[in-house]
């Protein structure tokens, strides 16, 4: 599913301006090996490496042993020499036998309408349940209508989503990020067209012979129009060997079928046959030339050097890795198209960058504010000290006197406040003493403070009354150290007995 162009284009344009483009490597996976290649900015091979897989780890393009494959991918990352902690971007190219592809046509439409029509048609022609599939398409040419350009020719591709999900998970766990997922026929077609110049004009047939099988690819206008994969397991004996005669028979019969199909489907005759194999024998070339005498049969070569079939799809995938992500609208069999994946990754990168910028800016302002606060405090202290230093001796003396008077005033205020707080607490004590006095007249009750002895003066009808009053006071729990000196007893002119007693109080809770 592709996002509308009106959403993708402005995002891609912005990200293209502010973010550098990373060249992705081409990564081809087969049943027997992993192969990686990456070009530099000048188009030269920067790095290439390969690693054989244990038998049974991958079967017909499907991972059977996830742990083994993931470990091999991690080893490949080490061999490539990637030092960055980020996942390395790659164009993943999988076995063509696991992919269904089909050519379909659409009439001439506007760009937005073309996308919607292609989406609808590709869902209708899907050979597998579309809900469980990843699918994609690309424009491969324009049809001709009475010599004029007509509608569009599109190539659609489909694969079970579970196959791709397993591969993507293994790659991400190993430190790679598949930005595009295609099948090897597409990679081979790109390498053959862009590197070897095959299929630029007339219709060409490319035969790719690998350890997995025979891939028959029709090229037209530099694009893949048709792909048919014939696996060797269909003719292998119990010992996994294939006889020369059986190989020749399959080579001729399958080539004939594809040539007849091209004539009926594309209304065009194949003009040339190209061979790509790890070890191309003269017998293979002579067999094809003998069967198709009017057809030129050639080996693929670049600059006079023969290309090994093992590296042709890797070079094609690596070539795609040089395309700007924002302009890659080719087939990608993954959850997102290349443009969508690119926009999503760039947006995430931008969010991380701006998050870091915000944190750094915040820390910077906190540092500036801290320095400013420290500076202003020092200025204030320096100004105060400078003001004190500018006072004359007479002014300093007057300032000292004023400070002393201020301190004395503050003490008086504190004393008055304390007396005010104590006033309500003294009343219960005095009231209690008066109630206990009964027929005794209290003439004076004095105390410096409640931590010192309290002196009570009074007169009573008799000495016995004074003794009874003393006893009543001593029964109070808060009264202690009660003293009544006998020498303080005296007879007043009116016949009453005068006395003086002292005591301490523990607290004022009466």
Task: Say which CATH number the domain at 465 has.
Answer: 3.30.1360.100
Look at 190 and 381; give whichever has higher pLDDT.
Answer: 190
Do residues 461 and 333 share a domain? no
Whether residue 241 sits in one domain with residue 313: no
Q: What is the CATH number of the domain that holds 206?
A: 3.30.420.40
* Residues pairing with 276 in the sheet: 208
pLDDT for 3 beyond 90 = no
Is residue 247 located within the same domain as residue 342? no
Residue 475 structural domain: 435-505
| One domain for residues 48 and 120 | yes
184 and 85 within one domain: yes
Q: How many domains does the chain have?
A: 3
232 and 163: one domain? no
Judge if 138 and 108 occupy the same domain: yes
Among the three residues 256, 276, 300, which one is the final residue of a domain in this structure? 300
How far are the Cα atoms of 219, 342, 427 from residue 226, in angstroms, in the given order? Answer: 7, 28, 114
What's the chain's average pLDDT?
Answer: 83
Is 418 inside any structural domain?
no
* pLDDT tens digits, 106-145: 998 887 888 899 999 999 999 999 999 999 999 998 876 6
**What average pLDDT score do residues 193-220 get?**
86
* Spatial distance between the Cα atoms of 293 and 204, rounded to a whole number of angstroms: 16
Winning range, highest mean pLDDT, from 51-55, 402-406, 474-478: 51-55
User: β-pairing, 58-59 with 88-94?
Assistant: unpaired
Residues 294 and 312 in one domain: no
Segment 95-109 shows an average pLDDT of 91
Neighbouring CB atoms inside 10 A of 132's CB total 9
- Contacts of 458-463 with C-beta under 8 Å, sequence gap 24+, read 458/498, 458/499, 459/492, 459/496, 459/497, 459/498, 459/499, 460/496, 460/497, 460/499, 461/496, 461/497, 462/497, 463/489, 463/497
Q: How many CB atoms lie within 10 A of CB 248?
A: 16
How far from the centroid of its chain's Cα atoms is residue 82's Cα? 20
HEC string of 22-78 equals CCCEEEEECCCEEEEEEECCCCCEEEEEEEECCCCCEECCEECCHHHHHHHHHHHHH
372-376, 384-388, 436-440, 454-458: segment of lowest average pLDDT: 384-388
Whole-angstrom Cα distance, residue 459 to residue 15? 108
Final residue before a domain boundary, out of 233, 265, 300: 300
My answer on whether 237 and 349 are in the same domain is no
Measured between alpha carbons, how far is 250 from 256 in angstroms, rounded to an integer? 10
The stretch 321-336 carries a mean pLDDT of: 87
Q: Which residues contact 420 (CB under 8 A, 6 or more apart)?
A: none
CA pair distance 396, 228, nearest whole angstrom: 107
* pLDDT tops 60 at residue 259: yes
Can you give the pTM of this predicted structure?
0.64
**Are residues 31 and 160 both part of a single domain?**
yes
Q: In which residue are the tokens 């007849």 written?
A: 260
Asked whether residue 222 is domain-assigned, the answer is yes
Enumerate the H helices of 266-337 as residue ranges. Answer: 282-291, 312-320
CATH of the domain at 343: 3.30.420.380
Residues 219 and 333 reside in one and the same domain: no
Confidence of residue 1 (pLDDT cuts 50, 70, 90): very low
């Amino acid at each position: 599913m592709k996002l509308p162009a009106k959403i993708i284009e402005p995002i891609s344009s912005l990200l293209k301006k502010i973010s550098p483009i990373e060249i992705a490597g081409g990564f081809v996976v087969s049943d027997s090996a992993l192969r990686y290649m990456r070009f530099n900015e000048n188009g030269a091979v920067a790095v290439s490496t390969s690693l054989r897989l244990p038998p049974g780890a991958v079967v017909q393009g499907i991972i059977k042993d996830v742990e083994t494959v993931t470990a091999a991918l991690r080893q490949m990352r080490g061999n490539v020499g990637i030092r960055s902690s980020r996942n390395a971007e790659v164009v993943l190219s999988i076995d063509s036998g696991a992919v269904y592809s089909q050519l379909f046509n659409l009439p001439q439409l506007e760009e937005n309408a073309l996308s919607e029509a292609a989406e609808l048609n590709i869902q209708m022609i899907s050979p597998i349940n579309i809900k469980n599939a990843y699918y994609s398409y690309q424009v491969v040419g324009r049809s001709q209508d009475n010599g004029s350009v007509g509608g569009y020719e599109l190539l659609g591709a489909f694969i079970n989503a579970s196959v791709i999900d397993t591969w993507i998970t293994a790659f991400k766990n190993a430190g790679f990020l598949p930005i595009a997922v295609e099948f090897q026929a597409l990679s081979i077609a790109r390498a053959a067209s862009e590197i070897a110049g095959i299929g630029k004009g007339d219709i060409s047939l490319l035969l790719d012979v690998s350890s997995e099988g025979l891939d028959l690819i029709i090229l037209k206008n530099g694009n893949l129009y048709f792909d048919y994969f014939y696996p060797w397991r269909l003719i292998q004996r119990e010992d996994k060997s294939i006889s020369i005669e059986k190989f020749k028979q399959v080579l001729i019969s399958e080539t004939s079928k594809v040539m007849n199909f091209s004539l009926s489907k594309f209304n065009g005759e194949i003009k040339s046959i190209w061979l790509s194999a790890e070890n191309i024998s003269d017998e293979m070339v002579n067999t094809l030339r003998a069967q198709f005498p009017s057809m030129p049969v050639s080996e693929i070569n670049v600059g006079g050097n023969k290309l090994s079939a093992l590296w042709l799809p890797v070079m094609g995938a690596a070539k795609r890795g040089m395309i700007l992500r924002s302009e890659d609208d080719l087939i990608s069999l993954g959850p997102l198209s290349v443009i969508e994946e690119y926009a999503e990754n760039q947006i995430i990168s931008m969010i991380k960058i701006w998050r870091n910028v915000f944190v750094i800016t915040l820390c910077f302002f906190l540092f500036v504010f801290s320095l400013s606060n420290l500076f202003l405090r020092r200025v204030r202290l320096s100004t105060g000290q400078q003001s004190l230093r500018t006072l004359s001796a007479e002014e300093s003396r007057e300032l000292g006197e004023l400070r002393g008077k201020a301190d004395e005033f503050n003490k008086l205020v504190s004393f008055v406040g304390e007396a005010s707080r104590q006033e309500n607490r003294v009343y219960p004590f005095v009231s209690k003493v008066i109630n206990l006095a009964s027929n005794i007249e209290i003439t004076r009750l004095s105390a410096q403070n409640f931590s010192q002895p309290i002196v009570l003066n009074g007169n009573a009808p008799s000495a016995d009354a004074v003794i009874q009053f003393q006893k009543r006071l001593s029964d109070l729990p808060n009264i202690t150290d009660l003293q009544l000196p006998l020498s303080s007893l005296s007879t007043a002119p009116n016949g009453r007995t005068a006395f003086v007693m002292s005591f301490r109080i523990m607290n004022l809770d009466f």
